[in-house]
């Protein structure tokens, strides 16, 4: 999940209009010149460089460096390598899934594939570490799939689910874990990711923006920085729309233990331009306090209680009883009682 662009390359791509040149009778995009970002040398960022970037020798998948490639090979990529075969079952699986989903759900099927690959390669090495970690999730969701699958996959795509399951089985089946390839097992995997997957957003440019904002600059340098950043964001909005990060999905054992609260005291963040998750406190947290996150977006958290409840019930199968919801419930009850009393008084007067 590390961005393979430098902050300057990403800024140039997002903030300028593409230009084309004619080569061999065809119009091709002209490479953009990376922006020179002010105070970049003071930001002390760790970013991928073109010199470090490597590929898998058999499928051309790109990695930010050799260590990342070697770790992937050791963990899962030996199973997932498609060897540049356009008809490889994994390629067909990914294409079929993308035909019925938009980002970020387009990443979920390959997250399932990676889980299976990690289990298989772990079993090959007689290691049960990956299997033990996976079971923490799987057991919780094996019974939830019946309700949730209809939310995760629209009903009109029910007929395609069997086809996707067959592709999944063809690409990854292992007789040491047959239960994961049954209809119930596959749907449970989908429910697992749909209910517990954490969206991951990384971007080299955002790393720069955060770092440059924290610099202790002189008044004149701070003014230069602020003017540059304001113009950059305006240009990005004009040429690319809202600034989006590289998106993916992941499962985190510890973060997944966090319960929901409509007024969370912590929020998951990705500050290292990779999939490393940091939990950031939203306010002071005392020893012994439960760390809670919100399963809702910031916009959804400001909705009235009934709409928050409906969203949580539909997507996560529970009713929230956090302090905010209980207070608003009590206020609603009092309001209803007052309304009933007023109506009674009006009736008596009539």
Q: Residue 19 corresponds to which tokens in the numbers above?
A: 């230009």
Quick check: is 24 in a domain? yes
Provide the number of structural domains found in the chain. Answer: 1
In a domain, 184, yes or no: yes
Quote the pTM value: 0.74
182 in a structural domain: yes
Looking at per-residue confidence, does 125 or 140 come out higher?
Answer: 125
Q: Whole domain around residue 39: which residue ranges?
A: 18-199
Task: Work out the average pLDDT over 324-332.
Answer: 86
Beta bridge partners of 21: 28
Over residues 123-135, the pLDDT tens digits come to 888 877 777 777 7
Q: Establish if 29 belongs to a structural domain.
A: yes
**Chain segment 187-214, per-residue pLDDT in tens:** 888 878 877 788 888 888 888 998 899 8
Q: Tell which residue, 183, 181, 176, 236, has the closest CA to residue 209.
A: 236
Q: Is residue 205 part of a domain?
A: no
Quick check: is 214 in a domain?
no
**Domain annotation covers residue 54:** yes
Q: Is 157 a member of any domain?
A: yes
**Inter-CA distances, 267 with 176, 180, 261, 319, Å:** 38, 32, 11, 20
Task: Say what the pLDDT of residue 334 is.
Answer: 56
**In which band, very low, low, confident or very high, does the pLDDT at 249 lie, cut at 50, 70 and 90?**
confident
Return the ∠ at Cα 71 (arms to 68 and 75), rounded to 5°.
135
CB-CB contact of 164 with 96 (8 Å): yes
**Chain segment 88-123, per-residue pLDDT in tens:** 999 999 888 888 765 545 568 889 999 999 999 998
């Amino acid at each position: 999940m590390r961005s393979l662009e430098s902050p300057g390359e990403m800024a140039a791509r997002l903030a300028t209009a593409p230009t084309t040149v004619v080569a061999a009778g065809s119009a091709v995009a002209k490479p953009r010149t990376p922006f020179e970002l002010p105070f970049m040398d003071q930001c002390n960022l760790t970013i991928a460089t073109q010199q470090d970037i490597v590929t898998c020798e058999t499928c051309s998948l790109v990695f930010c460096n050799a260590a990342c490639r070697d770790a992937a090979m050791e963990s899962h990529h030996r199973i997932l390598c498609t060897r540049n075969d356009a008809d490889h079952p994994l390629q067909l699986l990914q294409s079929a899934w993308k035909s019925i989903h938009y980002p970020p759900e387009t990443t979920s099927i390959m997250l399932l594939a990676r889980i299976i690959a990690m289990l298989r390669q772990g079993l090959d090495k007689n290691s049960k570490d990956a299997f033990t970690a996976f079971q923490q999730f799987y057991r919780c969701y094996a019974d939830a799939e019946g309700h949730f699958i209809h939310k995760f996959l629209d009903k009109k795509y029910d007929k395609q689910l069997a086809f996707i399951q067959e592709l999944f089985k063809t690409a990854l089946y292992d007789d040491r874990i047959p239960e994961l390839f049954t209809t119930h097992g596959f749907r449970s995997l989908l429910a697992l990711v749909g209910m517990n997957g954490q969206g991951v957003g990384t971007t080299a440019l955002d790393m720069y923006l955060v770092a440059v904002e924290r610099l202790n600059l002189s008044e004149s340098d701070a003014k230069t920085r602020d003017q540059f950043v304001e113009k950059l964001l305006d240009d990005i909005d004009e040429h690319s729309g809202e600034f989006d990060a590289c998106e993916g999905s992941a499962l985190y054992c510890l973060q997944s233990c966090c319960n929901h609260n409509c007024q969370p005291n912590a929020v998951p963040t990705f500050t290292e331009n990779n999939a490393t998750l940091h939990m950031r406190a939203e306010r002071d947290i005392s020893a012994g306090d439960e760390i809670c996150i919100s399963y809702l977006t910031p916009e959804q958290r400001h909705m009235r209680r009934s709409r928050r409840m409906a969203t949580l019930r539909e997507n996560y199968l529970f009713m929230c009883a956090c302090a905010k919801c209980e207070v608003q419930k009590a206020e609603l009850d009092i309001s209803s009682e007052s309304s009933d009393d007023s109506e009674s008084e009006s009736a008596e007067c009539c």
